[in-house]
Structure 1
Amino acid sequence: MSLATDAADQPTLYKRIRADIETRILTGEWPPGHRIPFEHELVARYGCSRMTVNKALSELAQADLIERRRRAGSFVRRPQHQSAVLKIADIRAEITALGRAYGYELIHRKLRAATAADRDRLGVRKAGKVVAITCRHSADKVPFAIEDRLIDLSSVPNAATADFSREPPGSWLLHHVPWTEAEHTISAIVADERTAGALAIAVGAPCLVIDRYTWRSARTITAVRLLYPGDSHRLVARFKGG
């Protein structure tokens, strides 16, 4: 391809290169840490100039999808584990860090077409499919938290075949799906009969609730509600002055 032709096609071509790479990242085909093809490989693959490839990679880096390392190449950025206020914790790691034995039970898993309530919860408009999961985490065989989660399969198609009977969905997502933005809402409720039974607490006992949403470049990844016995869990956030 001539430089003149490449210059004319560049606005469209660099967007195509970016979209191709972004799709592979967001679908999990290229997991965190995966090396992106070198610039000269992309030049050969797309028949374009190095400038076009560089522009696509620069925008992907600005979107926090990839990390560019001098002389080493570009890599899919690993998931961040820290938001501005609260850490997105891996419950299994959290329990283990307390010196307690971790336990996990998958209560419910269903692949289904997203209902209106699902779309509202995920903040999406288009019809699609989700994985709905309910599971229980325990510490020393005592219920620690109940997890109620939706995963948007348009953003994370590999979740449809993930074995959540063996690996908790939160752990799987943290290790396989990069995210760029998260939101926590913290509240308190009193346990109804269903929640009390799942957490082995009394009906009417206080529960801590964390509703969390995560996105990757404005695409919803997951919405999860975590319920903890109120008398055995606390949140700590440390701030620095501006």
Structure 2
Amino acid sequence: MDDADQRHKAASGSLHQRILSDVKDKILSGEWPPGHRIPFEHELASTYACSRMTVNKVLTQLVGTGLIERRRKAGSFVMRPQSQSAVLKIQDIGREVTALGLAYRFDLSARQERAATERDIGRIDLGPGAPLLDLTCCHFAGSQPFCIEERLISLNAVPEAVDADFALSPPGTWLMQRVPWTNAEHTIRAAAAGKAVAAMLAITERSPCLIIERKTWSAGQPITFVRLTYPSEAHQLVARFEPSDT
């Protein structure tokens, strides 16, 4: 390969990286939100004064990373970040998000110390009047809402939660680091987003959502109940099985 060919190859490589970085930056910054149509190949080729082949390679790479999807005859569109978790494993949401290559943050929107009501009995297995910490927060992947966390913590089991600064540390992460659990129960269902949930997740009302509810105990004592609500396209559950003897 002569010097001219080497220079051309290097220029093509650097242009590919520039286009890739520009498109990724627009997606991860939220400038191009989920559902946004990426400019067509010929539009990008014109913008960067390059061949459509170079643009096609960039878009193919972005499809492979899960940032965009291609729709036949419609073009390429930004996807909502999607994670997956094992059905029987307790996941740290911050790690879920960073595993997608996105910046993680969360906002604590509600915090209340209160007594358990009749409605709470089926959620955290405590009698009416038991002291609870009631928390709601929204987790973000990049600039996009990732899931809503609604959590009850038994203050009989975890009295130190009263003084915890959950504006700095997510409740789930804080609990996993400090409180050992011995048993857990998952309930998984689908539901349509109500007005409040739709507003927090930046989706349309009645959009399908995946809901994971979990109870945890330590030596038979209830610790926490949590409801995690995800936009349906943002999360999937994975279960592995082994053959049984029957």
- TM-score band (shorter)? 0.5 to 0.7
Matched with 1:130 is 132
Structure 1 residue 122 displacement after superposition:
1.0
Q: Distance in 2 between matches of 1:160 and 1:186?
A: 29
Q: Is the radius of gyration larger for structure 1 or structure 2?
A: 2
Shift of residue 85, structure 1, vs aligned partner: 4.8
2:59 maps to none
Number of the residue aligned with 2:239: 237
Return the match for 1:159 from 158, 161, 166: 161
Is 2:117–2:128's contact at 8 Å kept on the other side of the alignment? Answer: no
Shift of 1:98: 1.4
Alignment of 1:80-119 (within 5 A): 85-119=87-121
- Partners of 1:184 and 1:125 lie apart in 2 by 21
Q: Secondary structure at the match of 1:154?
A: coil
SS of the equivalent of 2:123 reads helix
- Secondary structure of the 1:231 match is helix
Listed as ranges, the matches of 1:1-242 within 5 Å are 85-125=87-127, 127-242=129-244
Cα distance 1:92–1:238, how it changes in 2: closer, same or farther (>3 A)? same
Equivalent pairs, count: 159
Question: In 1, distance between residues paired with 2:89 and 2:136?
Answer: 22
Aligned residue type for 2:127: R
3-state secondary structure, aligned to 1:127: coil
Alpha-carbon distance in 1 for matches of 2:215, 2:233: 25
Q: What are structure 2's unaligned runs of at least 5 residues?
A: 1-85
Partners in 2 of 1:118 and 1:162 — Cα distance? 22
CA contact (8 A) 2:188 2:210 kept: yes
TM-score by length of 2: 0.62
Post-superposition offset of 1:132: 0.1
SS across alignment from 1:171:
helix
Structure 2 CA distance, aligned partners of 1:125 and 1:147? 23
- TM normalised by structure 1 equals 0.63
Deviations 1:156-187 (A, max 9, x none): 11111111010000000111100000000000
Deviation for aligned residue 1:240? 1.9
How much identity, in percent, do the aligned residues show?
50
C-alpha distance in 1 between matches for 2:150 and 2:133? 11
**Distance (whole Å) between structure 2 residues aligned to residue 111 and residue 175 of structure 1:** 22
Opposite residue 240 of structure 2, the aligned amino acid is R
Structure 1 Cα separation of the partners of residues 117 and 218 of structure 2 = 22
AA aligned to 1:221 is: I
Q: CA RMSD in A?
A: 1.4
Offset, 1:119: 3.4
CA distance in 1 between counterparts of 2:91 and 2:132 reads 23
Superposition misfits of 4+ residues, deviation over 3 angstroms: none
